Homo-oligomer: A and B are copies of this chain.
Amino acid sequence: MAGVISESVIKRLPRYYRFLGELKAEGKERISSKELSKRMGITASQIRQDLNCFGGFGHRGYGYNIEMLQTEIGQILKLDRPKKAILIGLGNLGRAVAMHMNFESKGFHLIGLFDAKESIVGQIVRNQPVRSTDTLDEFCRENLPEVAILCIPKEAAENISAQLIKLGIKAFWNFSHYDIAMHHPDVVVQNIHFSDSLMRLSFKMND
């Protein structure tokens, strides 16, 4: 069963989780891989293969119980595991991420906000004070966050990420263009690169 899960499967898991949530909201109780495949636009084979990386969640002749399957995938994604996160950089983007994201539903607790700029430090965002990055060491030693969300420019990210790793940060949600994974192969990184995405859109546009 388990073993190493391929990147391709990991990429699809949140989508399954979302679609199952919708089905649940519609009041449905069970669904077959065939029916789900139509809805999601992928093959039934792929759905069954993907799910069987983690165990046999279905019942022959019946399909999958929606509620149960969503719960299982939530556990596989570790959404139920509490994860302490800090966010660095409260410019437009950092502010939007802090205010807009539903962290709690994924098990993340945003326990600290930091910025280097004097004019931003002290502001209140999402009921929390923005702290100075000068206090990062002290804060991390006291509160032991595991995740850092980087909403800062490339240049700043280089130094801050090294500092954070020394302070015990094990995972990064990276909105900067600094390639953390390349420089620190030992930590977990998920990138969100707006401009890469926008360039891909540009490429795909028909003339």
Chain A contacts to B: CB under 8 angstroms: 10-11, 13-15, 17-18, 40-41, 76-79, 81, 83, 91-93, 95-97, 99-103, 106-108, 146-147, 170-171, 173, 177, 181-182, 188, 190, 192-207
Contacts and interface: CB of A to CB of B under 8 A. Distances in A.
Given A18-B177, A95-B92, A194 B101 contact: yes
A195 B14 contact: yes
B188 A205 contact: yes
A79 B171 contact: no
A171 B14 contact: no
A81 B14 CA distance: 34
B102 A200 contact: no
Given A190-B200, A197-B173, A200-B190, A146 B205 contact: yes
Contact of A199 (B13, B171, B205): B13
Q: Considering residues A18, A83, A201, which has the most beta carbons from chain B within 10 angstroms of its beta carbon?
A: A201
Contacts of A202: 77-79, 81, 83, 106-108
Contact of A81 (B76, B95, B106, B207): B207
Contacts of A181: 41
A78 B188 contact: no
A101 B14 contact: no
18 contacts: A13-B199, A17-B199, A41-B181, A77-B200, A78-B207, A81-B202, A81-B207, A83-B205, A91-B100, A92-B95, A92-B100, A96-B97, A108-B202, A170-B205, A171-B201, A190-B198, A190-B201, A192-B197
A11 B204 contact: no
A83 B203 CA distance: 11
A157 to B, nearest CB: 14
